[in-house]
Structure formats: structure tokens, C-alpha cells
Structure 1
């Protein structure tokens, strides 16, 4: 279990993390989300002792990470896949890490096989593609067979097979009772992988809830309507709490009204409906609404 209590970190006058509290429980995958500059990486660095908190405390299994006697066997960490001696082979990099904890070479061979690195294990890590570098970083995180996994953007650069493997792996790890904290900017992948979501924005916790609860709270159902008389339907539902988006001459999306309500209104006025399709909100929709006012680096519309 990872527990942050009133965790803060300042760099000069900038408050990167401000009074953050959360718990990452074992037995489920916890997604860690937020815009660039939200404080996710700083928080992860504080969890594993790479940054010292300005205030508050964070523990792993009830202890400070820096106090762990055998870190690799208790916490597996992937924060920067490029943090590798580029002149070493993948195998030698992992063997050097294993030697610091008395981990046998057989475990090195095992994680190389698990992560699909067997064919490049003796090649220099400096020549690896982004995806292969990620696989090496994941192999390093798994080396000590830890109870806690902290993975920052583990699917970055991976091909579809690799992305699916990471998804299956972290869910399996959680099913074994391990604590899994996973960050990603891929909302569609996070929706398939995570059970619980923590969202940061400008160094503050914006949400801390199960995925379904977060989506339900921060999105509204949308109904796709296709009809030769869409303008009449749009006028009927022009009221507070309902928004209508015109997609084509005969297609509109109505947000904030039930499909049954739209269907009844159309029937009462003999308006033909060629399509009436309700769709639920997505994690991406919820995330964008939740963080809309907390994006530090905004781009211009084009």
C-alpha cells in the first residue's frame, strides 16, 4: 500500500505538489492521471525517495522508501526508461542491478524472457528503440518480484502487442494482491486497465475514485439522433442542462436528455427517427472536463 499524507513539494516559489493525500491500495490497478506539469512525476519521485518532500509524508508498506532494506524486492519502479548505461547490454544492466540485492542470474533470464527481450539481451541498450527501452525498464522493475509496482508511462513507444501485454500483466499483478500505480496519457488504455483513478491538476488532487464513478460524475449521456427534421428536435430540447451539437444536416447529438424522452417527443409530433443511439461518457470525456481549468500548457485551436 502507498499512502501520501499532506504531501507537498516546492521548487523555489513554484508549488509542484500542494498538500496531496491519497492511498493506493493493493489488489487493484490505480491510474495516476493529470496534464503535463500537474505534479505526477514529482509525486512518484517523492514516493521512491528521489525528491525530498517540502511537507507531509509518503510511505510504501508503512515505511519510507529510503528506509527499505531491500528496495528492489519490495518496490519495482519505472520512472525513466532511458536511465541506463548505454554501453551495457540489457543482460549486463539487469545483472548489475541484481548483484546489488543478491538476486540470482536465473531471475535476470526470467524477466528478459517475460518482457520479450531475449533476442536483444546481449545488445547495447544505447541502440534500443523507444519501445525496447521501455521493455528493459519494465524488466528492471520486475527484477526483484516486488509487491508494489510504480510505472510511469510504461506503454510509451510500445507496439500494440506490447501495450496489450502491459495491460494483461498489470491486471494480473493486481489480481495477485500487489499494489500497482500506473500513469499514462492514453485515456482509452487507462479505461481498459485501471480500476481506480487519481487525477492531479496543478499539484492538487482533483479526483480520487473508481473509474465508473468518475465517468458517471463527470460526464453526461449523449444520444445520437438521425432524422429529416433534426432542427425541430433541436428546438424542442433547447433548454438549460441540455446541449445540442449539429453534426450533419440530418444528424445531431443531444447531451443531457434520455433516449426515451427524445423518442417520446418525436412520436408525439410525428417526427420520423432514422437513428436513436444512446452513448455513455468515456474516461477521456471525464478527464477533459475535470482538468479543463488546470491545464498549465495550453495549445491554440486551429
Structure 2
């Protein structure tokens, strides 16, 4: 699966990713004037092109790598439970950029790295409980860029999400392209992603043939899953399925097993990360008594995607392609209920 992922991602990023041996234009060294971007419905002005960016988590870090901006980075923070990073097209970025912390970013990480920009997101580094926020960094004279998928910080469930997840991906690539002077690179990447996804959409099951899909992140007493505002919603939809928890007006959230049983998903997608392996998660799902009559469990229709496939990242199109191929086999076998 890792080899297939690498091949698919290299194909998706041939014109842009330095990790696949492509030729790209160098980043701009400077800008003669300030750059103003729209980030999370706010106008944000950057006085100069950042040279020492610090990122939090795998998806955000790989957005920088996919644009060939590793030379503009001072480091990244990321737990070491995000899978094999040596097989991704941007492995050179991981080799070049310093791994600052195997936890979330802190004020100390940022100051030690002499960062001139922090690229993170709410629940992807930024958090109120620890005081690590864009406002707190601003007081230190350090600007921030907030991951668009995470724009709302979750104080209320109705405050999550400002645009579809893939649109958030394209918005961030466009903004980063403008900020770092690599607009052509960003545009080419976006165009290639859209083309790849359109190809999957054209072959996707329709109507009642579309399988229902439950995203299982973690949890045994209660499952942690994705509502309609996180990336899995659109990944599942574009792949040809229907997110079982589409009506949940939240991003990543906890639900009850009774709702999963009642809705009877055709397919369960496991998010592979953390101390509990995908195989252990699968074993739990297949042995958990309340799920024994759920279609996905009865027919052992359980598919695994990496964490980085399921958060906003340049791996999203490849994830859609691989999940789409699997859902088409389910639909062809009569597994979809709509």
C-alpha cells in the first residue's frame, strides 16, 4: 500500500513536487511590498516573505513540501505516529527540515527556531487551553497562518468550517503560492489535483449504489469520527460514497455506537495513526458485539487510510482515488444501500 501511495502521489505532483524529480521555479527571495491574504475570513498582511517557517503536524508540513518550500522552513512539530514518511514524494523535505518536537508546537519551540511565521491550525497546534494562539504569537512579533480546514476553533459546534474541505486545500495552496512567490507552482498543483479528482468522480457509483461510509478514527466506548466539516466528508463523497455522519454539524467529533448500528454503514474506513495500529482497530471492530450485524462488519468491508490522507493535505487526491477504487468494488458487488 505504501508503494502504491508513493506512485499515486508522484503521479499527482509530477509537475510540482521536487521529491519526484520535477523542475520547479525557485521561490521569490523578497517582495517589494507587503502581501495581504484572506485567511479564515480575515485579511492578514505580511510585511515580508517568511524565511523561517515553523509548521505543526504532517498535513500542514507537507503543504509546504509539496510547494517546494522546505528551504523556507526552520522546522516542524509532529508526533511520530503518522506512518512511514520515507515513501512520500516529499521525503527530501523531511530529510532537510529539522524535526523540532514529537508533540505539538510550543512558544519555546517557535522562539528557539527563530521563526518568522507559524503555520498551524485550530486543533492542529493552535489551542486556547495552553495559550498557543495566533494572538499570543502576534504579541511576540511572530505572524501566523491558520489552516483553512480548521478556521473555527470549535467553541460551538455551529462555528466549524467556512468552506468545503477541498476548497480549503486549494485556498491554502493559492495563498501560500502568493505569499512565497510560487503562484505558478501552486496553480499547477491545484489543476492536477482537480483533474485527478474529476476522473474519480466520473467513475463513482450513483444514486442508491453509493455505499455509506463510517469513518473510524479511534475510541472503544464511543467512536471518534468525522462530521461534514472535516476533510473525510468530501474525500468520501468524491470517492463515490456517503459519509454516515454527514448530518453532524461538526468536524472531528465523538458519536455513539448506537447511531452507527442504526445507520448500518456499508463500509468502515479506519484512520491509521496513534498507539493503536490499524490492524488492532480492525480487530476491535470485527469483535465488538454491538457491531456484529452491521453490514460493513458482517461482510468485512473495512478499508484503511493514513492520518495524512484524512486531514487537509496534498495526499487528499490520492486518498480519494484509492478509496474510490475500493467503493466501486463494493458497489459492483451490491454493497451500496444509498
Greater relative contact order (Cα 8 A, min sep 6): structure 1 or 2? 1
Bigger Cα Rg: 1
For normalisation by structure 1, the TM-score amounts to: 0.27
For normalisation by structure 2, the TM-score amounts to: 0.25
Higher strand share: 1
